[in-house]
Structures are given as C-alpha cells and as structure tokens.
Structure 1
C-alpha cells in the first residue's frame, strides 16, 4: 500500500514538496513552491509538509497584500518570508577521518598556542595519512594497534628526510628503519598517541562516536628523561669571551635574569621600569609578540648592574629590546656556538636559566624565593594553590638583594656588544 501525503510526492526514495501558487499571483511568485524534504521517512515528511504549508500561506498572504496596493506587475518583488531548509540525515560516524580531523584542527588553531598546535597537527597528519578515508565509525581496535605499532617504530629525525614530505605513516616507518637504528623516546610516542586519543574523545563529544575505540591502548614503555646539562662557570666564561655578534647581549640578559629565551625575545623597552632606590626592574608579561608559559611566569625581576649598563649603551630605546631575535634564531645560533666550542657539548641555551638558578642557590636563597624570580610555581608546599592564596610573595627589596649577590665568573666578555 502506497503512502499518500498531500502536496508531496516520493521520488528516488526522497520526499519532495510541491504546491502550486494561485493563478493571479504567478506573475510575482512563479508557478509553485517546490523543495526537497531531504528524508525518506513518511512521518518526518508529513511534519515538514505542515511547516511548509504554513510558510506557503504566509507567502500568498503577503503577495495578496502587495497586489492590493499595486496595479501593475511590471516590477518583481522579493517576498520577505523565509522558507525552512532541511539537512539530510546522516548516520552516526559516517564522516571520514580526514574531514573530522580538519574540523578538529581548525578548532584547535584558535584554542592552542602555535607550538602546541604544531604538535597536534603532526599527530593528526600521521593519523590521516594512514586512515584518512576511513569512516570514523570503522576505527576499530585492530586498526588502533596497527597505528600505535607504527608510531613505536618511528625515528626521531623522520620529518627531516627529503622523502618524508607527503609520505604516509607506513612509509615514514620504512624510512625510519632504513636510515636510523633508534626510535622516538617513550614520552614522545605517548604524546603523539595522546593527541590522537584527544581527537577521538572530541569525536565522542561531537556525537560522531559513541565511545573512543582506542581508549584501552597505551604506550607501555616508561618515559626516559635525559635533561640537558647545567652551564659551569668555565663554560659561561668561554661563551662570553666569544662575544658572538648575534647572541652575546641576549645571552647576558638571560644569564643574569634566568629568563626563558622566548620571554627575552619578546621584551619591549616599556617593560623596563624604575623603582627608585631599588634600581630598574624588567617586567615579564604577555604581549602581542609572545605569550607566557604559565600564569606564574608573569613577574618582575631586578636588573643586574651589568644589564643596567647594557641598557644604557647597547640596546634600543624604543620598541623591542632584541628586535632581530626569535626563539628559532636563538636555538640555532647556540647550536652553532656549541659546534664551535667543544666544551659546550651537552648544553643548550636553556642551560643559562639553570646556571642562574644554581647561582641563586649558592647564595643561600630559599627555593621558593628563586621560584618567584624565574617564574616557577612555588615549591614551598605540595599544595601550590593553598600556598599561593596565603603568600603575597617576596618583596622587591628581597629580589634586589638576591640579584646583587649573583656574581659573574671571573673572565672577560662581560661587556655588551654594540649589536643586539
């Protein structure tokens, strides 16, 4: 028995609405109102027909009103009644992984900082390269084990190979095994896998999946930590004596404030503030050039006498203090210096921060005082939140006293460079 719905007919398993306008209004409205109901379900089609009948009546009434006020149809007129539009129903998980990953990355780009977004994008690119055309509902446990197995076989430098551009996950594994005998550290493997898991959790929240099919799969190896070395006084002397035309002034600044490279690169002249007899301080705060790692990183640090001289003789008086510097340039230039000075082996630019913290400790400065200077959460107690609520932090005078006790190692090279 066929189903009959007034003003609707079924064709190719889809219902379509069609209702003819009155003869005297066709000069304005056209012959009929026709629209796909985007469904094969008769009950839903009846409901949508009812909605369109209401709109049809509104359109006819407005057209009748227009005709009553005008004697001619010479000018066309747009009727101000919106006709509802219907989206075709889709089954749960019907979208391919590549389409959902694109939406997820767009959302992540607005939410995350560039460095964090780059990590997410790399993980999703690996997933899409292996299972991009797969509908998300078809991501099963076996496929998850396969993807995780490939991640565990990737090498640290796989992205640097010329043949890696545009390669799939399986092809990257083959390149890794062909060129290197080492694999990614467990914490890196876990981070990549975790980004993929976060994407699937997002799919669950977006109602594309009922549950994360890979939730039970984990990287079993324990993290391996190999922290970079702390600069020794002898190494600091070697670095400063080098008087590198690109890095010297920034190096001095970070050695004597404990700043991260990104914090120093983003400094503006307006971040230098005077506090009377306590001298000048540098204010570390987020700006348009860079954000900060955490809320604790926002702080004020007294300037060492060497840095006061640097400000007065070598650094700009307006705009950025280090206008030509970026974190990328700092990292690459330090790597160059490390090749030129074999004694620096095992250190990175961040080792300057470790040197500053070590100097503070050697003056007998309490650990939570040093934490305030370098922008770490206080280590005074395990409950950081409670301690932060009760403590107002150390005073500017206490900060000044700590900085004045930091001594540069004996040697040349403390003078600023004319180029920053």
Structure 2
C-alpha cells in the first residue's frame, strides 16, 4: 500500500510533536540499546506524549537492483506492507487502521528503509506487525499487481514530466554505466519484468541483521525496547546477501544535454563533484553550499539570478553525499529565452567564489543559520528517529548532536577558498535542460545521441 493512511492515522501525525524542537540539540539524550540477542538500536526516551516512532534502514538500496529489474527495491517497498503472515492485504491494513498504526517502507539509491508510528499502548502489537512485514511478507498476486499498476501509471506520466525527465537524464549522463545511473523507481519495462519470486528473494537476501540500523524515539524505556528488538527483527538472517557498490565519481568534463519539450519554461538541473559524508571537508562544503545556493534568499544564486534580474522564481543548490560518490547539485526553472543567461550567471558565480572567496559577513551568517535552524528539525518523534538512523548510516558518533555546532563554527574563510577550488569548477559542470532553450546547444557527452 503506497502510504494510503486512514484519517485516524493522519490525525496521529498531527499529534506527534514533542518539545525538543525548542531545545538545543545537545538536550537530546541518545542511548545505545543492545537487545538480549545482540540487536542494537539508538533510543531517545520521550514520555511526555504517548507515542513511539521507529525508523530502520538497511544498507544497500535501489542501486543494487539488477539492471533489467531496476525498481525492484521500490516495488518491494510498496508491497511489503500489503499482507504478511496470517494477514492478507485487507486484513493487515484493517489491523493497522484499527490501532491507528502507521507502517511503511521506502527505497533510495543507498538504502531500504522502514518506518513505524504507534500509540504507546499499542507498541507491542505494532512492533509485531512490523516484524511480520519484514520477515514474512506475502506478496500476494492481487496487491502486487494493483501496486505495479499504480507504479506503471506514475512512470508513464513521468515520461512527459520535465522535472522527472531532467532528473533521470542527469544521473544517466553523470554516471554512465554505474548503478547510480539507473532510476530507483525503475522503468516501465523493468517494473513489468519483476516477478513474485524476485520480491521474495529481495526480502530474503537484502534485509539482514548485519546491515540494519535502528532508531527509536518516544514513550518507551530501554528495558522494554530490548526484548522487542529481538521479537521484531530476530527472524531476519544474520547476514544480508549484498554486493558493494563500486566507488565512483560523476563525469569530470563539462556537458550539456537538452531534452526537447514543447513547453514555455525549461527545467534545468546542474551539478558535479561534491563530497561524501565522511570527507574531512564535508562541513566546509556544507557551509559553502549554503552561501552559494542552499540559503534561499540569503544565497548568491538567488541574489544574482532572481533578485537582481528576475529570471527565475527559485534557484537552489544542495549537497548530495552518497556512499559511492559525492555530488553538489542545483536547479531552476526559467523561460526558454532566459536559460542561457541564467546558466551563464551560475557559472559566473562559481568563478567568483573560486577567485574571490566569501566575505566574513557571509560566513558568519551561514554559521548562525545552520546552527540556529537545526534544532527545528528535532520537532517530532519520527523526525528524530530518522536522524538517529541517518547518524548511524553516516557512521557518526552517538554524541554528534553535541559536537555539530563546533564542527560548523570551525569552518574558516581559508577552508572555504580551498574547497571552492576543488568543487566549484564550471569546466566540469554537468547540465541537463528539459524544454526548448534558446541559443543553447548540447555539448560534450550531452551532445551524443542515445
């Protein structure tokens, strides 16, 4: 079921706010809980509201899908809660609805994830249902074909959606034959080719105890959580049968690819080399990106392209650190007549930061915002449990939230200048445009015919 939560579950979402959002991140006390069977989870106890949130991620996501079965992880994520154990699809969903339990799964390029949210009085049953979904999914024909049909309809719509076309083409251009080039949601042909046996094999081989990361937040104690971890995850295999994704980097030469679309406004995606999460320069790149295009109205790209010239409604950039590659990406939409001018301004800003660096005022403002806004992300049980899993996924220490402000404050102008030389190179910018841009030609590998 594609997150078709009942109205009672929607109400549950609206009542999950806790009070950590008004506190400094250092006020979040994270415990490491190890079950009697050796399963580890990170826990934040919060008893003020009777709700428990669980987030789980398994290392290895859609990029592990066979090329001819791209979208396997995505289809599995969409059908894993459509019946398990003694429950068929209807019975399973009715049980969740009766107890106001939210349960769902998702797949990204590097991970397969699950989430659970429940009233604390239903914690044991909610964890039991989650355990059934991951250890004994039914993948019955009716729900699988129903969900497959929904995904195929969505993929068909995206064939004419400029944002989807540009995003998919960018990764194909940037990564060539590497697994990162294949779409996580698959294609019409690959989704159509996936069998029930593929789904069963996915659940059997890809979800192990050794590649699992767990975060729990809410009205539950460490003593109660430990045994629940064994009951929920104990039936999973000790080791997942997954291969490592080869390390890579995006295309290292400038390229422009144009996807002709008969629309008045083009969609532009640009990007290139970034940093992975474990890179020592990550925090410098993070601050640099805020100044370039990650700071909305405080960013240089917004100032130059929107405020001064009115060419776009929005322009942005962001870091995209993956396990096998690091990216820095961005994008905007603008009239076909303005695409080239806006792209020229992006490149000019890259050059200006490389040559002139950033000002003390820009650096101070970036640090103030990045440190001051972060506690707002700690505003709900499920958001915090998601952060706990992300910390483990990135191999960050359990006291990371205490140290994060110092890591950002340590970034200097000299650091920014050095990293800008490494990352902000217009001669290596990969650009994909979906639309009918005027006075712009495809170049480099983007000019090659598919």
Q: Considering the TM-score relative to the shorter chain, is it more than 0.5?
A: no
Instruction: Give the greater-gyration-radius structure (CA).
Output: 1
Greater RCO, 1 or 2 (C-alpha within 8 Å, sep 6+): 2
The two structures have a TM-score, normalised by structure 1, of 0.31
